[in-house]
Structure 1
Amino acid sequence: MTPAPAATPPSVFFKGHGAQNDFIVLPDPLGELCLLPEDIRQLCDRRTGIGADGLLRAVHCTADPEAATMAGEAEWFMDYRNPDGTPAQMCGNGIRVFARYLIDAGHQHPGTIAIATRAGIRHVHVPVRSRDFRGPVTVLMGHPLLPGPDHIRVTAAGRSWPALHVDMGNPHAVAFVDDLTHPGDLHTPPTVTPAGAYPAGVTVNFVAVRGPRLLVARVHERGVGETRACGTGACAAVAAVLARTGRRPAASTRFTVDLPGGSLTVTANPDGTMELTGPAAIVAQGTLDLTAAVPAPRRSPVQVR
């Protein structure tokens, strides 16, 4: 008789958000959790799970093959998964929530923290004074990369716009619109052409310029749907505005990007790098039971208690 597989012991989880872009944080310092895409989909489901725009697994770089080469620069790896279970390279709001978790849990001290991501090392600054508050957190987002697929067009709600490709560690197509209602409800993903431009999918940003340094935006995020805010999307929007002018700022310049969930600040630096500043808070904590993986066509559901 084959013994039944041992159940995975209960795991602690945390729930946080940055400008209403919300995430589940799963501590897994030794890399012991076996998360299948179906686990992540159920955990992120807002009716049958905890509910979130994505899942952040917190694991030591030395315990994860994807991050092992970054262990000399960062202690922690942000293993970010979209709510459909697919991995993603980077998340501007998620990494601020991740940093807040590390500090709240006592794993790091306030100040500047190096965090490993699939897009490389990112440095996040949490001011000392915000240890016990939900104050702003800043992440150095690096250089936006604009060369990429050409002649991109985005179609939604029967309208079509030209779009600019911007890579913020993950791909974005930025379309400038006159009215943010024109893309419709965004329940259906926008169509992006040419069809082969983004074989792994793309985040689509609809952006309206409301002032010299004020943008408003809506974002349909790859693997998620429309989100209340998108940090990499806010940076991509600013990068696209600067690309239209053909100028790099002579001094660090702050832009405000208003999204449905709140405002984010993007600082464009003379060296071409960008910084993203916005809220980050851990709002809840609990325990969940992840069922052990079994070699069967159908697995028992993840149990949340």
Structure 2
Amino acid sequence: MPFTACLAHVEVLYSTASKNVLSIRGYFEHNAACKDAHLARYPRQPVHPEVFKVALSLLRAGADITEVQETNRAMARAGLYPGQPPPGDFETKSGFRWVLQASDNRSLYRQFNRLHGIRTTTASHVNIDDWLNKDSPKYNPTLAEAVFYYSARTSSSERLKICIATPEMREAAWTYAQHSQIILDGTFGISNRKLLLFIVMAIDEDRKGVPLAFLLFSAPTKNKQTSAGYDTDILTELLREWKMSLGKRNGEEFTVYVAITDTDLMERNALLAVFNNVWLLICKFHLRQSWKNHRNRELKGTSPLVLDLKA
């Protein structure tokens, strides 16, 4: 409907427990423009509950949003949803939509978070503190067991720090990294908040990566670029907490002999501070990239020989 500045509205107050209506109030007279107005476009159809039900079950099973959308399109084309009209009659014989759109992702994730007890209207750091605080009614013992280091952000000058390693990840550290090799790398696009994530990994017997620890922390206050919100000190602190959380076995402390990183000196200095005699290697990708950049700076021209060397 077009905007007509009509004040007509109704407010109904009722009890959710008894379903009894407690009061009805409002302004019940429409103005002339509203009475003469015509429907400008049909309201958007809501997504059918069965579509959300299947999508939520896929998310719980570990599917990503692309897999959810592909499954949804396939089921909609085949008419596999309960109560779904024949394919092709979605708009004429149904008051619902059966194909998810990108604009539905927000509602889908909001429902998914609600199933896990996550209050999306509450600040993230408040939710985290509620889950990890033993005095909180929302204390989550499973999550608390997996968090080996937590420091709340209680003032603007502090960082939020939360480091995660499940019992299985701690066992994997002793199995695959003790007196062996780890990989350390950071990523910064994990959230719309200014959070940084560094991942410690090892290689298993199948030559596949195994996560050993997730080191999460917030960027400093007033930091404009999230990727620049860390230094050697914060990485040293979190890596040392990880090492301490692993304790000892057979009277021997956890230690690694080799660590692979990129060319970041802050990562490398932090590893040296925690594991004194560790051998530091640069990962193959960054090594090749460094050689390529140096070669391109030194080799000039467009002769066949130069182009062949740059290839």
- TM-score, normalised to structure 2's length? 0.22
Between structures 1 and 2, the one with greater helix share: 2
- Larger RCO (CA under 8 A, 6+ residues apart): 1
Larger Cα-atom Rg: 2
